[in-house]
């Protein structure tokens, strides 16, 4: 069920981020979109992105704007067919210290995207989520859970208009800006790496894998779904050993707002979750919210099912781990 971008106009919020850059690169390599619009706040990041040959394409457009600004969204969404919503405040400590700033971007910004997409007849909208939105313990996760609910419930007032919404939720992205891999690479020459807890586990996905999954969800979405990929887990300690095998490890304790293990599907989601070979899909809690023809061909998961990083059936082997981090080891 592939999705054709032939002649489509595509907008990516937060398009200068790790995911957005790779998504646009793959889109230009594989597809023939009419326009690809980068919508983000930072003019310097846009300038730097424009200097790279892979983004010097006649289809590219560049919009400075903030998802908090609905008027600017109306200008940017004119004649847009597909929106990938990746803009968010993501740093857990920053969100804890500036809580309403996180709400304004991650929650009010999400509603602005929804309202404007419906108003202007955008056909497909996929919002990017995080494992921290499942049973959240920090403000970032709570705002993303609220955002997820807004997007999956938006069909309650779409009516006869063409707009369809879905959410993609995945775990830690290997090598994304501000993540643990770049930090470990930076610190390993010091001979010491900080470890929060020796048993801490996380889900892991590479940026190309995340892009491929989002593209596949565009072809399958009918509206109201939350898609979760089947991805491997690993211990943070194993990651540290792969990056700095000769380093000393300082156990610093779990930080405020952090879990020992992450989940992407809770037991409370079980009655609404179906399984496929490569993914799980959480269907809308209220049947009337989903779009007509919502895909229900998956296998219902067992009662009490929970998809968590410590109970995963797929664990990264050392070779798989080294392969995943290889692009970030060059020059380090």
Rounded Cα–Cα distance for residues 216 and 1 (Å): 7
Query: Does residue 8 have an active-site annotation?
Result: no
- Rounded to the nearest 5 degrees, what angle is found at the Cα of 109, between the Cα atoms of 108 and 115? 85
Marked catalytic residue, from 45, 90, 104, 132:
132
Rounded Cα–Cα distance for residues 41 and 43 (Å): 6
Rounded Cα–Cα distance for residues 124 and 167 (Å): 11
Residues recorded for the chain: 332
Greatest pairwise CA separation for the chain in angstroms: 61
Beta strands 124-130 and 9-13: pairing type? Answer: unpaired
- Rounded to a whole number of angstroms, the CA Rg of the chain reads 20
The answer for 306, left when phi > 0, alpha when psi is -120 to 50, beta otherwise, is: beta
Q: Which residues are designated catalytic?
A: 132
């Amino acid at each position: 069920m592939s999705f054709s971008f032939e002649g489509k106009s595509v907008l990516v919020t937060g398009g200068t981020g790790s995911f957005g850059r790779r998504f646009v690169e793959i889109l230009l390599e594989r597809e023939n979109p009419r326009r690809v619009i980068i919508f983000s706040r930072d003019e310097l990041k846009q300038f730097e992105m424009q200097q790279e040959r892979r983004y010097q394409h006649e289809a590219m457009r560049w919009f400075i704007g903030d998802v908090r600004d609905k008027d600017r969204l109306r200008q940017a969404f004119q004649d847009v067919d597909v929106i990938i919503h990746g803009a968010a405040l993501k740093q857990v400590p920053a969100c804890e210290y500036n809580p309403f700033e996180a709400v304004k971007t991650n929650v009010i910004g999400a509603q602005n995207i929804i309202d404007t997409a419906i108003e202007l007849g955008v056909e497909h909208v996929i919002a990017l989520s995080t494992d921290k939105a499942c049973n959240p313990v920090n403000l970032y996760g709570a705002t993303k859970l609220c955002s997820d609910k807004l997007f999956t419930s938006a069909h309650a007032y779409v009516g006869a208009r063409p707009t369809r919404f879905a959410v993609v939720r995945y775990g830690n992205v290997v090598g994304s800006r501000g993540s643990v891999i770049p930090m470990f690479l930076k610190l390993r020459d010091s001979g010491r790496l900080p470890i929060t807890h020796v048993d801490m586990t996380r889900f892991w996905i590479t940026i190309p894998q995340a892009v491929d999954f989002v593209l596949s969800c565009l072809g399958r979405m009918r509206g109201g779904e939350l898609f979760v990929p089947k991805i491997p887990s690993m211990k943070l300690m194993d990651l540290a050993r792969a990056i700095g095998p000769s380093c000393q490890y300082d156990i610093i304790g779990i930080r405020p707002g952090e879990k020992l293990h992450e989940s992407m599907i809770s037991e409370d989601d079980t009655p609404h979750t179906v399984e496929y070979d490569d993914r799980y899909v959480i269907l809308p809690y209220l049947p009337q919210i989903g779009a007509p023809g919502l895909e229900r061909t998956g296998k219902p998961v067992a009662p009490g099912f929970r998809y968590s990083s410590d109970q995963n059936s797929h664990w990264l082997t050392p070779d798989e781990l080294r392969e995943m981090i290889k692009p970030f080891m060059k020059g380090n």
